[in-house]
Chain A
Amino acid sequence: MTSKKRSFPFTAIVDQDEMKVSLILNIVDPGVGGVLIRGEKGTAKSTAVRSLANVLPDVEYVRGCRFRCDPSHPELLCSECMSELEAGKRHETEKGPIRVVELPLSATEDRIAGTLDLEHVLQTGKKRFEPGVLAQANRNILYVDEVNLLEDHIVDLLLDSAAMGVNYVEREGVSFSHPSKFILIGSMNPEEGELRPQLLDRFGLCVDVVGDKYVTSRAEVVMRRLEYDSDPDAFIEKFRPETEALREKISLARKRLKDVEVSQKMVEVASNIAIYFKMEGHRADITLVRAARANAAFEGKDSIDRDDFRTVAPMVLTHRVKKKPFEKSGLDRGELEECIKMY
């Protein structure tokens, strides 16, 4: 399912910094919880997500495993890897980049959750599970374009997996479960309808993209696209140094993530923000800290500070702030700044 087609370089996307940062933070720390990109038509939402493939770092996984199990986390292994481990076998590993797995709107339930492997049944007489999109998405990025148009029964499937990190399949005489922890990236045009609240809440971050307002930036978008269309390879080559540098930076940030110091004070700042903006539950606080830590790691800092919150708080809060009727966005950035400085 990885895209074999060339894609527009991530680093060649003009401006849209908040969207880019929100995507990068998720790669640095998948625990940030995914991102929902909202914006009008034609604002480079899907181009950005698809181009992520260029800058994704390698991960280590069990060789030959259909779910790309993580050998360093035995508790998250699939049943097959687990039984091998219990039998005393050491897993061989290999490396490969994180992939962007796309969920097409026309997908049917059985192909998302997985189903019975038919040919295996016929050849061996034994039932075997044939993995679906949720299996491919394990430890990868699951991208749903126009996520607000997804059928309800498909959304339910996604929510179940996203909540538990495991996909349970009970159908067609197969009973199977496998790890399915993925970075959920959704994009949508709010004009087409709103997202179900349960699904909205599932996204760690949310950014609203708007078309660029600078003439030169907009012209630059057109110039770059025309150049890409006329000779994609040359264009990709031109941006290769930048792309490689970013890929390296992300990879480094992933390694440094655990060493970034999170002081008690900064955790309190996060909680204070959450309380000020009347967040229900603790998901917002946790996401604030995780995203701030990912941001600090990405910027090469040793500890998180208030600037990290300045960057990430709008993305964490935008979709969680209770809107008053007829208000476009409930988040007042001035208030937020006060809140960060205050504590």
Chain B
Amino acid sequence: MSLAKRALICAAVDHSIKGVLIKGPSGTGKSVLVRAFAEVLPERDVINIPQNITDDQLFGGLDLEKAVSEGKAMVSGGLLSRTDGNFVYLDNANLMDGRTLDSLMECIESGKVILEREGVSAEYLLETTAIASMDPSERDIPDSIADRFEICVNIIPEKDFRERAEIVRADMEHRRDISAYHEDYRESDAETASIIKSARLILPSVVLDRDDVVTIVKICRELNVGGHRADLSAAKVSKVLAALDGRAFVTDTDVSDALVLCLPHRRTLRTREKAEGGKVFELIDDSAEDIQPDTEIVEDVPVLVEEFDEEAEQDQEGAADPGPLEPSASTGSRYDAIFERAKEALDEIAELEAFRLHEIAGIRSKRAPLSMRNSGRYRGFRVPKGKTSDPAFDATVRAAAPYQISRESNGLSIKIESQDIREKIRVRRKSCSFIFAVDVSGSLVKGGMMGIVQNAIRSMLMESYVKRDRVSLVTFRERVAEVAVPFTRSVEMICDTLEQAPVGGSTPLASAIIVSRDYAVNYLRKHPGENCYIILITDGCATTPAFPCADAMGEIRRIAPVIKDPKIEWTVINSGGVYDVKRKDDARKLAEYLDARYIDIKDLGEY
């Protein structure tokens, strides 16, 4: 919990930190923490933004009352206009409409709201910080939006029973006697408030020297984090952490702590996956060169360097002075220490974030498809082409409102003409269809992999149970690949069938691919507009060909291009290779043939 608290305090000290993302399972006290935080800072409010808010409620729109009574088109500032100088709190931010969240974060980051809606046009400045919380077992926030949050912390449910007991006790007391409880904690709140206040005073004089920035830049790349926001966030937070500690210089611990706060949400599965076998981002370390005065980039740099170095030296007063003679060597060892510390903490966090089914299948937050029929969530409105069967009443009334004074009465309380009519834009969350094709041949049994595979599937299925996805199971061994469980929402049925499935024998991999694919194609024929994801769990060593031929693996290579279908996406999870390194490449080759995502079962988390 203390990490989350620290994150919020950082945002309170430095208003240029515009976003804090808190991840944690439900019931870990995310909202409680944010509310308690609000009490620490009496001068800034925390304003709650509900997840189903519409664009005009949030950003503002036409002032309905003024329009009807005076016929004037005036702007009614939305909820956002009231958050200037305060914090906004987005509970379950991941469930918010992606575009609304994107627009909101864009406004907060740029400090400006541009409003062009329903006949009104306005622009206002906005200074606020977003605190968002989300339950990671639900869908994730798209990477590009998450990147707009400087800081991300994961709340881990307390495992220690004494700590847990303490939480229960605090909660009981809170409920019994709110005022007394607050009295107890007010003292520590006051203490926190004064730390924040003094940190704010120190912050402008905190010096971050160029070496630290170079270290941050290098570590971000080493950990496969892209974009400049990560570097900048870590630099800012390092300074804030120093200020919180009452120092005007930044220590190595500040830097590594800052990295731990700023990088968890930026090391995504995709970058980790891309990084397999190398770096995602090319980085050329020219930082040692820039000491030579004749390098090109140095031209406009020296001013900064001198300035910062001077001050840093004054402040540090000889503390661990690297000395100008061997700058690369000393920064090297410093770098290693910071890197090790940050990486260890970040890996721990990454492990907590076990792979999720949607991530595994490569379903990224594509734009939700516009719904064809009159179902789905009301997201916005438009002027209909011709007649509409799905009018948006609120928007229609707003469109008609300004004309009420001038229109002739027709006996109704609101006079609506055809040009006022707006229709709804709806979006429907697509449910996904997964086919698990599981290798139950002898090679798996031998390796003792069956249990691991079952656990992996079970944990992936838990998520699809929450999301109401359709899942089916194909198993293959000996000469047969068959649909063992047709598409169902019953996760239990899949688990049971898998447990009871006969195992052992050779591997008819090509047949499994054909059977799964044909089943998917059939299903898609009946459900156009959906996509199908086939997750092939195998060690990739094909032994039995589908058609009489000698080379089972070659057969797969030949059929792969023929069975491609834009609506079917493949993922290969390598269940072999854990004990037998030689076979690891087979599954990878298979993934290449199928143009599939490749994931090693070891990476799936704690099994």
Contacts and interface: CB of A to CB of B under 8 A. Distances in A.
A267 B383 CA distance: 46
A104 B71 CA distance: 26
Interface string A97-123: 000001111111111100100110110
Interface string B191-233: 0000000000000100010100110111001000011111110
Interface string A54-83: 000000000000000000000000000000
A324 interface: no
B526 interface: no
Contact of A213 (B106, B204, B281): B281
B124 to A, nearest CB: 10
A216 B366 CA distance: 35
A5 interface: yes
B595 A326 contact: yes
Interface residues of A, number: 61
A151 interface: yes
Main secondary structure of the interface of B (DSSP, over half): mixed
B232 A215 contact: no
A226 B236 contact: yes
Interface string B89-131: 0000000000110110010001110111111110101000000
B253 interface: no
A1 B366 contact: no
B204 A214 contact: no
Contacts of A191: 143-144, 364
A118 B227 contact: no
A218 B217 contact: yes
Interface string B416-427: 000100000100
B382 interface: yes
A192 B142 contact: yes
B59 A106 contact: yes
Given A122-B405, A216-B290, A222-B213, A107 B16 contact: no
B73 A119 contact: yes
Contacts of A145: 106
A217 B236 contact: no
A114 to B, nearest CB: 10
B103 A105 contact: yes
A109 B392 CA distance: 15
Contacts of A226: 208, 232, 235-236, 239
A262 interface: no
B367 A193 contact: yes
A42 B226 contact: yes
A230 B204 contact: yes
B147 A42 contact: yes
A111 B282 CA distance: 44
Name the residue in B125, B304, B364, B370 with the highest tally of chain A Cβ atoms < 10 Å from its Cβ: B304
Interface string A122-143: 1000000010110000000000
Given A104-B114, A189-B144, A226-B208, A216 B304 contact: no
A13 to B, nearest CB: 11
Contacts of B2: none
A160 B425 CA distance: 22
Contact of A104 (B116, B221, B226): B116
A199 interface: no
A216 B287 contact: yes
A233 B142 CA distance: 34
B406 interface: yes
Interface string B248-289: 000000000000000000000000000000000111111101
Contacts of B304: 223, 227
A146 interface: yes
Interface string A205-249: 000000101111111111101110110000000000000000000
Contact of A211 (B73, B226, B370, B382): B226
A151 B383 contact: no
A41 B119 contact: no
The 7 closest A-B pairs by CB, nearest first: A42-B227, A111-B116, A107-B116, A42-B229, A218-B217, A41-B144, A215-B287
29 contacts: A4-B123, A40-B227, A42-B228, A42-B229, A43-B227, A104-B115, A105-B99, A106-B103, A106-B115, A107-B117, A108-B117, A108-B118, A108-B381, A108-B382, A111-B120, A111-B121, A112-B116, A132-B116, A149-B367, A151-B425, A192-B144, A213-B284, A215-B218, A216-B289, A218-B217, A219-B217, A220-B301, A226-B232, A229-B236
